[in-house]
Structure formats: C-alpha cells, structure tokens
C-alpha cells in the first residue's frame, strides 16, 4: 500500500523553506520534497527529501510508485531577472517542468479516482502594463486585466496558469471517457519578503535586499527609482495564502487563479522603513534601466477581492506590522544587528 504524501518541488527556494515549517507543524501526511539542492542544515526530521530534477521522468515515476500523492505544491522556477539571461532554460524549467508535473497529477487523479490538488504560485510578473501613465491610472489590477507580460518568466507563469486550467477542465476532452481531472489552484503573488532567506534572481529583490543589507551594515545601491511602486507581502502571509487556497472547498472557488496582496510600497517608502530600524544604513539609488522597465510594467497594486470573497483571504501583516513585528526583529536576531 502506497503512503499518502504531499509533494513540494523547488523546496530549497524561499517559499519552500517557509512552507515546510508550516506543513510539518500541521500535517500528519508524509512530506516528500524535491529540489536540485539538498535541504539546508542537513534536512528536516518530518521530510523525505529527494535531490533531483523535476524534468527527470524516471525519478517522478519512481516517486509515484512509492507514494500516493494527494497534493502538489509546485514551487520550482527560475525567477524574472535570472530568466532573462537564460530564456530557453527558463522555458524548459518553468513551462516544461510544470507541464510534466501537471501530466503526472492528471494521471494520478485518474488512477486514484479523485482529484490531485495542484497548488501553483504565479506572480505579478504575469502582468505587463504598457506605460507609467497606465500604471498610475489602472492602479489596482484584477486578474484578467493587462495579461501582457514582458519577461520570459511572466510569459511562463501566465501560460502555466492556462495549462493548469486546461488540465483541470478540458484534459483529453474528446476521449471516449472523461478522465477524473486534477484540481489546479494558483495565486498571483506580489514581491515576497522573508526575514530568514534572501531571494536571488528576481526583479522585486530590491525590497528584501535593502533590508538584509542594512541589517548587516552593508551599503546598498537600489536598482530602481525611489518612486517605483509594486505590491509586496511578508513570507508568513504567502505561506498562509498557499495553505488556505489548498484547503478551500472546491465549491467555493469561482476562479483557478487568484490575486493576493498585502501592501504596496514605493522603493523610497521601503527605504524609510529600513532607515527607521537601521538609521545608519547607507541606501542609495542607481537605477538599472532594464530591470527598472520590468518593474515599471508590473502593477502598483493588486485587486484581490475574489480571493477575499471566495476563500476568506486576509493578510495578517500590513507594512507596519510586517516590518515592526516580523521582518526587523527576526533579521536583527539573524545578523546579530
């Protein structure tokens, strides 16, 4: 008899490390995690970690002979800045990797006779606003607006949302017998800020980088203009969003992709919050025109009313609480600042 399990891909990334702690604390299901890298600090007592590639079909087949996977959190991805240096690799990882897992989840749904739940973090990168004037006018975008990403990562996320919906509702729609469909659910995250990890390869990274640099007494050159505004979220709220969406009754969901957000800040406002905690910090601006253009194409705020209405989404951390109660105290402890 195979053991019921939750599979998390890309677990060594920022979201994965926070998600493991939350799932390990609340679940008696076996957690099976997959990443190209080993788990930091030698592993986690409640987790079976597999070092491997999501593109390795033999490895995935082996996993499903050993475990009956009921939920997949598919976190593995190359982020926006990194993807622009290696767009074809990004496509392979972000799209082909997701496609392989969707197929696996679809086949498992049929085999088990019940839907496998597929939880997918998408991103504000799925949006692409054409100008700063439009960004100022259409300040709080809804899920269906401005789906014109300018980055490979944004294109990948948007397309994978569509693939997820296809595998949920229309997979093999002309086959004689309708298969049991998987249950795909996605959140579009804003920029995420963790007290415990520093992101790499993203374009919203200036927020967390500014704070982590200040706590270490390092000077920081912000790569966007002071007036640049996008939405952000503290990592505990990001984990809550994934868990709540995964737990929501299917009958309540009216969409497969939901915006979620907590607070919108300009780079200057982030700098002010950082300086309030670390008054000696040296933070200057040296905008990088191409990264600036990417962030300028992302919305200033997200309309997350569908998530609030359908599954009770409500962030616990506004900007004051995120910095005052979560980020600054934990970062101070981390760096002994």
**Which residues lie near ligand AKB (CB under 6 A)?**
79-80, 123-125, 153, 191, 202-204
CB of 249 to ligand AKB, least distance (A): 28
Cβ contact 302:126 at 8 Å: no
By CB atoms closer than 10 A (0-12, 13-18, 19+), residue 255 is middle
Closest CB to ligand AKB belongs to which residue?
202
CA distance 171 to 74: 19
Q: Which of 41, 23, 40 is nearest to 32 (CA)?
A: 23
CB of 243 to ligand AKB, least distance (A): 19
CB of 18 to ligand AKB, least distance (A): 14
CB of 82 to ligand AKB, least distance (A): 8
Q: What angle, 0 to 180 degrees and rounded to 10, lies between the N-to-C axes of helices 328-335 and 206-215?
A: 50
167 is catalytic: no
CA distance 269 to 228: 10
> Which is closer to ligand AKB, CB of 183 or CB of 209?
209
By CB atoms closer than 10 A (0-12, 13-18, 19+), residue 319 is middle
Q: Find the catalytic residue in 67, 153, 171, 220.
A: 153
CA distance 310 to 3: 32
3-class SS of residue 304: coil
CB of 294 to ligand AKB, least distance (A): 8
> Which is closer to ligand AKB, CB of 83 or CB of 240?
83
Alpha-carbon distances of 213 from 82, 195, 220, 265, 303, rounded to whole Å: 20, 12, 6, 18, 31
CA 219, distance to chain mean position in Å, is: 28
Active-site amino acid positions: 153
């Amino acid at each position: 008899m195979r053991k019921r399990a939750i599979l998390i891909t890309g677990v060594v990334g920022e979201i994965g490390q926070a998600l493991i702690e939350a799932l390990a604390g609340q679940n008696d299901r076996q957690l099976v995690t997959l990443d190209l890298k080993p788990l930091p600090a030698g592993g986690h007592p409640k987790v079976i970690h597999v070092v491997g590639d999501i593109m390795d079909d033999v490895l995935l087949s082996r996993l499903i002979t050993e475990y009956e996977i009921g939920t997949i959190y598919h976190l593995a991805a190359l982020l926006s800045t990194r993807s622009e240096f290696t767009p074809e690799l990004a496509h392979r990882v972000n799209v082909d990797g997701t496609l392989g897992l969707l197929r696996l989840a679809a086949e498992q749904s049929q085999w088990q006779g019940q839907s496998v739940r597929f939880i997918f973090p998408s991103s504000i990168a799925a949006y692409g606003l054409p100008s700063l004037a439009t960004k100022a006018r259409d300040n709080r975008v809804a899920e269906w607006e401005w789906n014109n990403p300018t980055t490979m990562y944004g294109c990948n996320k948007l397309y994978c949302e569509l693939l997820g919906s296809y595998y949920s509702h229309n997979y093999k729609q002309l086959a004689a017998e309708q298969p049991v469909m998987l249950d795909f659910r996605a959140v579009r995250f804003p920029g995420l800020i963790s007290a415990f990890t520093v992101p790499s390869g993203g374009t919203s990274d200036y927020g967390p980088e500014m704070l982590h640099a200040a706590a270490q007494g390092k000077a920081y050159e912000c790569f966007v203009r002071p007036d640049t505004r996008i939405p952000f979220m503290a990592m505990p709220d990001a984990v809550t969003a994934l868990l709540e969406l995964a737990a929501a009754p299917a009958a309540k969901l009216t969409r497969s992709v939901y915006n979620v957000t907590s607070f919108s800040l300009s780079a200057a406002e982030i700098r002010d919050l950082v300086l309030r905690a670390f008054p000696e910090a040296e933070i200057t601006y040296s905008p990088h025109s191409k990264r600036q253009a990417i962030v300028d194409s992302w919305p200033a705020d997200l309309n997350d009313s569908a998530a609030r209405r359908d599954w009770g989404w409500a962030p616990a951390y506004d900007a004051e609480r995120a910095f005052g109660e979560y980020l600054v105290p934990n970062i101070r402890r981390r760096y002994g600042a």
